[in-house]
Structure formats: structure tokens, C-alpha cells
Amino acid sequence: MSKGSPVPAPDGRRSADIVVVGAGTAGSVLAARLTEDPEVRVILLEAGPDERSERIDTTWTWPALQKTDVDWDYETVVQAGTGHAHAVPRGRAVGGTGTTNAMAFLRGVPEDFDTWAYLGCTGWDYASVLPYFQRSEDAPHGDARWRGRGGPLHPRPSVNLHPLSQAYLAAAAELGYPSGGDLNGPAPRGAAAHDLMIHDGVRESTAGAYLAPARKRPNLTVIADAEVQRLLFDANRCTGVRARIDGETVTISATREVVLAAGAIGTPLLLLRSGIGPADDLEAAGVPVMRNVPGVGRDLQDHIILAGLTMHADEEIGPAQANLGEVTMLLHSEPGRASIDLQIVFIHVPFANPWQTVPKHGYTFGIGHMRPHSRGTVTLGADGQAIIDFRYLHDEEDLRALVAGVRVALALSETEAFAPYRSASHPLVGTSDAQIAAFVRGAVQSYGHASGSCRMGSDAAAVVDPRLRMKGVAGLRIADASVMPAIVSTNTNAATVMIAEKAADLIRFG
């Protein structure tokens, strides 16, 4: 549960200098970094439980955490491009999605962040954010020009790879792809055992690496099972939040500012419930408009990963280990692209959507499209809940790239490296693009990388400025994946840590 007790303000309400909403990947970093200054009082609020348990620590059982009490159990509306509603995995616990995800730790490519700067986010180019990536980690296996030393996180690749993971790397080399490089270096390409957030054999999240050591500080209060209902204002200034704690509605005030770190679904949802967002949407949901901010809940992005491309094996090939997906490949979907747009993660067990049929024994090629063109929305329903529409495959370019990714995966599956494990060729081998496209539409799954719904920028449609300050509202910032102006081209956890590290400096230094 919580450590310490909130500091009462003169009128009996709970108060701190800074109130951080959401103790997930970003919020845990923020609370730890801000309270390094003993003069700064921080209250960190988390809707979910404060849990460290075997089910969270065990590294290969993470799929079983979805749709439990540590998951928000979000779901999209039925997607026109797929014909299905899709689960949107979001962690609901101290540590957030870092307690429930697949533990991949990949930064993205330099072009991702240079694009942010090009889009008007001054100070977010690769050279400017690299020190924050480095500050977050202890990665002695990497080149010190690019990787960190002595930071809180311990990203490492698996050392003793599963036999099938070894076969995957051999298959990639057989087809001429680069192999063995650091996929968190300055030019990540090809196949490698990528960094995982596994330390001493158990899951490592920012709740453990950053927040746990900070919780002994008297200027930090962590309150779990505290669901924030809305933001509070005095004119155009955010002054605190209203939360439900232990069955009681409580006001928690912030003398300096409130920082939202509730994620790309939770953050826009809280803004909308508080009357900040597109005026027409708010009025339709019956919410009084506090400030018309058309960009809230817009530009929602996610990576698609295809499930169900599973190859049949006659028997189980070794026990599950690590995070089930120790190796991956970053590549282009077509020649001439300036940057990667595909990720093929190898999963050494069957992995599928509930509506797909796969062999009992086998291994899966998970094809991720990492530069989606489709954009969606988070809106507010009349019941106050989130309506999530990623518009998966709305843009035909996304479908084209995924078809290309399936073809690469099928070629990998047919290599000599996989011959000892291949019972038969996959039925899609030798089929047309139209047949593969039909498979793609039925194989779509959320990669769990929601972002962009409160994007940062200097243009009129941006929700926060490059210092992460909410436009038109004083005393309010956002520091989570929702501010990404364009989703990074790898898993989003490492970039979210970086955002929080930089946000702490932006808050500390004005």
C-alpha cells in the first residue's frame, strides 16, 4: 500500500507541491527523480494495486495478466479494417504497463526523434534525448558512446538463448540480414537478441528500479488504489485532483503543478472527464466544457502485431523461457526506405488471437508494423468510459507493409536453419498477396503501444508544448506516451522512460 502519509493543507485537504497521476512507467520515474530534491513534496496516485508478486515477476507468464485485476481491460470498438474488437492491454498497478508487458526494451531509431524535432518539438531531437536514455540505464554490454552506465534500469539480452531463438538468428543470417548488433545503438538493423527488462531472473519495471528506492524519502507519498476522477481548477489554473480512495472522495491539491502520467488512454480520458477536449465531443457526452482543446484524444496511434503465424512442430521444443520472445529483427518493408518500418519478433511458443486456430506445439513469427499511417481517437462515452478506435488498417499502406512482413517471415520459416523443427511448410507459403492480406486482417492484435493522443508540438492542434505544458491551462503538464507526436519505430517502453526523465528536468528547471 502507500508509504508515509499525505501532508494536510491548512483546510484539511491533502496537498503537495506536485501531484503525479499514474504510477506507471513514466509516473514512477517522475516521482523518483523529482523527490531527489528534499524540498519538493510529491504525491503519486495510482488507480491499481501496489503489488509485487510471483505472477508479475515471472517473465514468461505475462499473457495471463491480461484481463485480470492488474489490467484496465480496455477494448476497441469493432475495427472496420479487421472485423474484430481488440483487447488493449494497459497495466493497472504500481508500475503500470511495465508490470504486465512483454519486457522488450528498445529505444527506437535516431530518425524517430529527429522527426519529432522537425515537427516542432524543439529539444526532442536524437542528440538532445540521448543523454536521458543513457541516464536511465546500466548497459555495460553496449558502446558507451550510445549506452548508459550506472542508471536504475538493467536492460540485457538473454544469454542462454532458446534453441528456436538460435535457429531464428541463423535463419536471418542465411537470408543475408545483418545479425548480432545492438538494437539500441545508433543504427539498429537486422536480427539480434534484444534487450529485455529482466534482472536477476525476474521482471524489472520502473516501479522496482526507480520508485522502490525512493519510497523511503519523507517527501514522497505513494497512494495506490486511488482512482482519479477529475482535475480541479481555479479559473485557468489546475489546482489539484479529485480521487476516490478507500471509498471516500478526496481532494488532493498541488501548490505547483499536476502532472498527468496515466498513459495514452488514461490521460486523454481524464482530461475529457474534466471538460478539456473537443467542445463538440464534450457536449455530446454531457460534460461542461472547461476548455476547448480539439487535439485531446486525437492522433491516437498503436503498433499492430500479427498473431497466429505459427509453424507446426510435432512436439514441444524446450520449455518456455525469458519473455517468450528473446530475439527480433528490424527491417524495411521495401527497398529505399530511410528507416525501418517492420519488426519481426520471434516467439518460441504458439501465439494467437482467441478467434485463430494454431497448432498445439509450434513457434510464431510476430510481425509488427512500426510506422503506422492510420490514426485513431479516444473519445468519451455517455457512461464516462473510453471509446477507443485505432482505425487499424484504415490506411492501405499499413496493409501493404504487413503483407511484406509476412512474406519475409515465411521465407525465414523455410530456411535450412528451421529444417530440424519444421514439420511442414506453412499453408501461406506460395500464396498470393490477396490471400496473405486476408490472413493479415484476421491476425491483427494490439502491440500494446498506444501513444500520441495528447501530442506535443508547436502548432495550433498540439495539446502540449515542447516543455510538456498543457496549452491554455496553467499548472498542468503531461509526461507519458500520449505526448509522442509520432510513434517510435520500436516498442514504446524505453522512449516513455526517456520522456519521463526529460520531463523531470523540465519541471525542475522551470
Query: Rounded distance, CA 372 to CA 494, Å?
Result: 19
Confidence band (pLDDT; 50, 70, 90) for 48?
very high
Nearest C-alpha neighbor of 317 from the set 179, 156, 168: 168
Task: Work out the angle at residue 432's Cα, subtended by the Cα atoms of residues 189 and 422, and round it to the nearest 5 degrees.
Answer: 65
pTM: 0.96
Confidence band (pLDDT; 50, 70, 90) for 2?
very low
Residues 6 or more apart whose Cβ sits within 8 Å of residue 473: 233, 236, 237, 238, 276, 291
Residue 52's pLDDT is 86
Confidence band (pLDDT; 50, 70, 90) for 339?
confident
Q: What is the pLDDT of residues 395-436, one digit of tens each?
A: 999 999 999 999 999 999 999 999 999 999 999 999 999 999
Residue 17's pLDDT is 97
Residue 338's pLDDT is 82
Residue 49 has pLDDT above 80, yes or no: yes
Nearest C-alpha neighbor of 363 from the set 181, 162, 103, 194: 162
Query: Rounded distance, CA 451 to CA 24, Å?
Result: 14
Question: Across residues 440-448, what is the average pLDDT?
Answer: 98
Question: Across residues 350-358, what is the average pLDDT?
Answer: 96
Selecting among 154, 369, 426, 449, the annotated active-site residue is: 449
Residue 44's pLDDT is 97
Question: Phi and psi for 382 in degrees, rounded to 5?
Answer: -65, -25
Percent of residues, the chain, with pLDDT higher than 70: 97
Q: What is the pLDDT of residues 24-47, one digit of tens each?
A: 999 999 999 999 999 999 999 999
Q: What is the pLDDT of residues 249-299, one digit of tens each?
A: 999 999 999 999 999 999 999 999 999 999 999 999 999 999 999 999 999
The grid coordinates listed for 213 are 528506492
Residue 54 has pLDDT above 60, yes or no: yes
Q: What is the pLDDT of residues 84-103, one digit of tens each?
A: 999 999 999 999 999 999 99
- Has 449 been annotated as catalytic? yes
Residue 10 has pLDDT above 90, yes or no: no
